[in-house]
A and B are shown apart, each in its own frame.
Chain A
Amino acid sequence: MSAPTLSEHQPTDESLSPDLRELHALIEAERAAFVEGGDGRKRAGYFCAYTPPEILDAAGLRHARLFRAGSPETVSNGERYTQSVFCDFSKSCIGAFDRAAGAADPFYLAVDRLYAFHTCASMKRAVEVIERFVPTVLLNLPRLRGEAASRAYLAAELRTLRDDAAALAGRAVTDDDVSEQILLYNSIRRLVRKLSELRQRADPPLTGLDFLEIVRGFYYLPPQVALEAYTKLYRRCAQRHQGKARPARLLIAGSIMADGDRRLVELVERQAGARIVAEDHCTGLRPFRHEIAEAGDPFVALANGYLDQAPCARMKPLGDSLDAAATLAREYEVEGVLYVYLKFCACYGVSKLAFVERFREEGVPVLELSSDYSVSDVGQFATRVEAFLEVLQDRRAERRQAAPALAQEYRQ
């Protein structure tokens, strides 16, 4: 099957740093193989970063996160069911599965079973349509991070996931199988964290685009392949010589940034010359800030570990998400935040004020951007981003300058 001719924005070899090209090629090869089939293994797909791939791998399933979106065509195919008031991501999830619409994504069509956690209400609704197109298992995801009963409940739902994965794969999945995967995935996450931490340097050897590609790898590559690729990558990048460049350091926070929704990051990094050094969203750094306990009942460990991770804003209390975002901004010494929320995203749109105020308390300016998958708004984004960077430059200049004389002021 050939690749879909969707008008998405995919990073080309050019937009990634040279060090990342090998990883990019690996990912594309893996994705092609996922679609190709013929290896006798069932394919599991999932939307949400709270889905433990540890369980899917323990069952020997081939799996991938389904977060490919960015094409207006896919959006409008999904819209036939939802009409307008859903976020473009949830519409795209429907559109990608709908064979009848004529522009479905072969990658999505290759999925044998969809494991869909009830995350936000819009995605749950979208899944009610999607389950017509693909066999789907719906699972509950608790919101109350602090309640022991909620953690026990998640553990129970994860066991249900395990049971279904085992049935799909046609084999038993023991607790030990899962424990083994927990170890493996922990080491992968550790590496991803270390790679991200290279961005704490004043002249980061990795761009935000690069890091998003690394995260792509996590969600598409088999764990052993990912581990090997990241190890090699880390060795190369860590050795990079520190240059004199001091690009503006930005954090992107907010809604999911789909694989294929890159035009903002491209604009910020390649056109405006700033740098994304950290992400508080679920397709960036956020899902990698936790480790699962490596002893004891693996389902209890998974439930605790996933609920302990830096939370999605659908989790309660919201204060936990605000704390995590602020901590990240401090750790990475960001100069500004791009708060990017999908239009109609309740979790990040309605909560916008709370996040903006928390960043303000940290002394970090915020640029709010409402986004979707249309292609014609790059100019509008450019104006806002550039103006924001002008503000950040002034702040930097103020921090540095000693004498107020005009000539000195402008002659740094």
Chain B
Amino acid sequence: MRIEEIVGPDPWPHTPRAPVVGLDIGSRGSKGVLLTPDSIFTVFVPTGLYMQETADELLGLLLHEAHLKRRDIGFIVGTGYGRISLAYKDLPYQVVTEITCHAMGAHAVLPTARTIIDIGGQDSKAIRIDRASGKVVEFVMNDKCAAGTGRFLEKAAVLLDLRLDELGEVALQADAPAAVSSQCVVFAESEMISLRARGERHQDGAARSNIAAGIHFASARRVKSLLARVGTEPDLVFTGGVANNAGMRHALETLIGARFTDAPMDMIYAGALGAAVHAGRHYAAAVAAGTLRRPRAVPRRRPVAASADRYAPAGLQA
């Protein structure tokens, strides 16, 4: 797809000088984005047992879509849960956390974005970004508890005998969302079972919707308390896999009292897109510094934070 179909006709400030790739290896699903000077390509595959294989699969699919060869790629940035297991001998590669990448990804397609909520498979985050640069100003993540993450919703779907992609729609049909504990997944689970039993006993057809809605609100409450730390300045953007769950969107919008701004593309790709944008910057810096790669003897990889400047060329990955 041409980039201007997503971001409009004006020149896009994140246009890379060469094709670059962002790979977001999540706990459940992996996303890849390839940016060229005028186009964008996206792919999704379920995360396999081996991160490298999944990453290679993503890369292969992207290259195929874009009709490019591996050696055409200027830079790759990896992010997400599986980022640190990846290695590329023949391509320049860096890791950046998914917090930074989600921020950049949302910013790249929605320059007015200020507050991002990202709910993934096992994490949820609230991020405040600098509107001008897309950089993270402040962020808060969930503590270790699973309430407020995708995993919580997965469990709920199983207990209610629904597919995960049905859960949100069923929740939207609720007329009286059940009060479900948001303190702990385990408590919530047992409450759900009780409610379900009660609904069956009273042959309450609306029970399942109400319970589903209750779960979404319980989950949303956990996420909302993160927001109190970073604020809810507009525009609000919802990223990550759970962003496609209409029930969750509704619950969050109700609790926050504001709407999410619609994004011009599926925000499940926010992380990978942000990674690709960072890849573009790394590439530009490497070109400017004259340290651009061709396959050669590989220096040791330096940890990201040790270099004084994040975009100083780090050389090839070992």
Contacts and interface: CB of A to CB of B under 8 A. Distances in A.
A412 interface: yes
Contacts of A246: 308
B147 to A, nearest CB: 13
Contacts of A343: 143-144
Interface of A: 246-248, 271-274, 343, 356, 365, 368, 370, 372, 374, 377, 379-380, 382-384, 386-391, 393-394, 396-397, 406-407, 409-412
Classify the interface of chain B: helix, strand, loop or mixed.
mixed
Given A246-B308, A356-B229, A379 B81 contact: yes
Interface string B220-233: 00000000010000
A380 B84 CA distance: 12
Given A343-B143, A380-B144, A411-B285, A390 B304 contact: yes
B100 A387 contact: yes
A386 B288 contact: no
Interface in B272-318: 281, 284-285, 288-289, 303-306, 308-312
A17 B288 CA distance: 38
B99 interface: yes
Given A394-B136, A410-B284, A411-B312, 8 more contacts: A247-B306, A343-B144, A368-B140, A377-B144, A380-B144, A388-B139, A390-B99, A407-B284
A393 B310 contact: yes
Nearest to B281: A410
A387 B123 CA distance: 14
Given A387-B99, A387-B139, A390-B136, A272 B303 contact: yes
Nearest to B79: A383
A383 B99 CA distance: 8
B138 A365 contact: yes
> Which 8 A/B pairs are nearest by Cβ-Cβ distance?
A273-B306, A387-B99, A370-B143, A410-B311, A387-B97, A410-B285, A412-B309, A389-B305
Interface residues of B, number: 32
A272 B141 contact: no
Contact of A383 (B97, B304, B310): B97
B284 to A, nearest CB: 7
Nearest to A247: B306
Interface of B: 81, 84, 96-100, 123, 135-141, 143-144, 229, 281, 284-285, 288-289, 303-306, 308-312
Contacts of A273: 303-306
A411 to B, nearest CB: 6
Contacts of B136: 387, 390-391, 394
Given A390-B100, A397-B309, A411 B288 contact: yes
Nearest to A386: B97
A145 to B, nearest CB: 29
B144 A370 contact: yes
B141 A384 contact: yes
B96 A390 contact: yes
B274 to A, nearest CB: 12
15 contacts: A247-B306, A273-B303, A356-B229, A383-B123, A386-B97, A386-B305, A387-B98, A389-B304, A391-B100, A391-B138, A406-B284, A407-B284, A410-B281, A410-B285, A410-B311
B304 to A, nearest CB: 7
Contacts of B284: 406-407, 410
Nearest to A368: B140
A410 B288 contact: yes
Nearest to A272: B305
B62 to A, nearest CB: 24
Contacts of A410: 281, 284-285, 288, 309, 311-312
Contact of A411 (B140, B143, B289): B289
Contacts of A370: 143-144
Contacts of A411: 285, 288-289, 309, 311-312
Contacts of A368: 140, 229
Nearest to A382: B84
Contacts of A387: 97-100, 136, 139
Contacts of B304: 272-273, 386, 389-390
A374 B284 CA distance: 42
Nearest to B100: A390
Contacts of B288: 407, 410-411
Contacts of A396: 308
Nearest to A356: B229
A183 to B, nearest CB: 43
B9 to A, nearest CB: 22
